[in-house]
Structure 1
Amino acid sequence: MQATFSVTDASGKVTPVTVSINFNHNETPNDGADPRDIITIGTTTASFNFEGKVYSFEVLGFRDASGNVVKTIYTNENASSSFDLVVKIVEGSGYELPQTTGNVLSNDLAGADGGLAVIGYGVGNNATTYSNGAGSQVVGLYGVLTILVNGAYTYQVTKNGSQIPADAREVFSYSVRDGDGDTTNSTLTISVNPVDSNGVPVYLPLTVDGTDLNDTIVVRNGERATNPDRLDVFFGGNLLGEITTSSGGTDRVHTGVSYNKGSSDQIISSGAGNDHVETGSGNDVIYAGKTGADGFGTDDGLQLTVDQLKAHHIMTGSLSGSDSILDADGLLLSVDVSSRYADVVNSGSGNDKIYGQSGSDILFGHAGDDYIDGGSHNDALRGGLGNDILIGGLGNDIMRGDGGADTFAWQKGDTTPGTLTKDYVTDFSKAEGDKLDLSDLLDNDGSKTESSLKGLLSVFQDNEGVHLQVKENSTAPVTQEIVLTNHTFDTLTGGSGTTATQVIDFMLQNNMLDIDK
């Protein structure tokens, strides 16, 4: 049998995929022990091209009445039945499976009765003891879950991204049996956050969607713009990017003007490549994407060093005066934005969110209360005026808050086991209300106390400044080091002859350091 499926991407583009499905139909005798007719589906795959990349399409089986995916279905004599076919797009050139993995038994102890084993699972949060066996596929709201006997699970998204709401969650219940035959039930909750190929949530209404080469996306006339809803765009390599037209539709162009229907708020994804993005007075959201691009180097190979980031004029210059990093329009100087190895972003005034994503980035919040996340690799983050949140992310990062009460934050996953990550904060100020926030890194689940975590910290001072070293547990080596440049123990506390212990206590007591939730 031939069937045609419609594959819809995050932009709404539909690609028809036709596959030949092989069935084995067993017409059983009516007077036999089981007179039901049996249909078994064979393995069915097809490949298709989408925008120059190859994807594979696989038919998994039928969805039965319990929501399970099965290869065989049964129909009673003189009856009819219908079943949905369940399909998925599997890995092809340039495509990664939208899936997550883990182990539901990773935090469980077997106890005196011996090893634990998963014996069944199903959809939803309930107290049912499942016995449908491990290894089968169970269909949830947005995807398919498989759990093995040893607790290892794989969850794969099968819904179109446009069908999954923001902050969607899947809940499954599973049953576990110990060596003595006792059973218990628990739940697995999975956050489902659909993203496009650039790692941008698909539910965001992008005003500009860039290309995989060097793009320039800049608000016309900067902070002096009469129409801050307009962006001049130049997409690299003669590739087609997507902009918003004056009528609110979308258009694919090499260069042009993007409009946001009278709103100065922009949502931009610049894609891969060394991009230059500057927005104006709105509350903007900017995703800088990868730095590398196919045929033009990788993020690892192009990564800037800490010394290069420290010395960059966007990090060393002033916000006004003769050494200003800004021109009369509030845009970055042209000499500072031409980088072969980094994305450069200025989010302008307004309360903005900047995500550096992968590769080296130089990210400037300008004015307003901004949220700046460097992502992976070595980055430089500068808040500008306002009460900003700066997160360096993976890599060795340089951070400068400028005016306002700024929070420099470290999150779980920002370090690499066995590797020392060293970040620099170049203008930490107690007088302005600055703070180091390690609570997510050290107390992600909120189960610990400040007193129990304080032993994971140590400090020393040298000609670089004050170094705060962090272990993530008592037996681990130091994996995170934070250097507060231009400081000594005494300048941090305002005292004289301050000891290392006194520095940590002073910072905790004066809201300069958070370590627990």
Structure 2
Amino acid sequence: TNTTDGVADTQGADGATVVGVAKGTTNADLDDTSTLGVQIQGAYGKLTLHADGSYTYVRDANTPGGVNDVFTYTIKDGDGDTSHTTLTIAIGNSTPTIADLTPEANGGDIVVNEDDLLAGRGAGESAGSDASKESTTQGGTFTIHSPDGIAWLNIGGHDFITNGVFTAGSITTPLGNTLEVTAYNAATGEVSYTYELVDNEGHSAIQGTNSLFENFDVTLTDLDGQSANSTLSVNIVDDVP
């Protein structure tokens, strides 16, 4: 949310028009009409100011919230007298969010099955019991939203976005499998990942098919230090003889 103080300039008997604008607090008059009707880059966005005092402001992507963008503009009356003051754009503070992740209690985000494992993974390792093998690498997506820019996106203790820049990569998980974060769409906020089940895991002694979950903490932190937390949950389904 962008706001100003809403206080109008006081015109003298000779009237007044805007004749110039500059970024920041300059403490000086500027009589330069070429600065009007065009975008002036500020600290956090772009201001377009017109001679009649109307203006628009477009916030830059990946900028913090809870800050002010200040511009100095100059007015001139009919006698040529000038005066300057400031226009302050107050940029509101927003909270980042993480969506489209399913907790362990609701079944997790993706499912991999030990019965799809192939033979030859190691000495004495046999194939899983499913004759029609599906892939032991499964993928998914989730969505992040951070109006105040992204300082970090951390998944499983590894930063995949730093200061708004995404870097694809993979990690070996605590259970010895592979989590790979493959893509990030900055326009939609969609994060894509895959999980590869490398070998069978130590499930509980309960008879029959049961699930073991491998969970990864997901933390999204914006440029002014606010964070959102969630969990990416992988359901590893036990094989049975």
Shorter-chain TM-score above 0.5: no
Shorter-chain TM-score: which interval?
Answer: 0.3 to 0.5
Q: Which has the higher contact order (CA 8 A, sep 6+)?
A: 2
User: Which structure has more helix as a fraction of its residues?
Assistant: 1
Name the TM-score, length of structure 2 as normaliser. 0.42
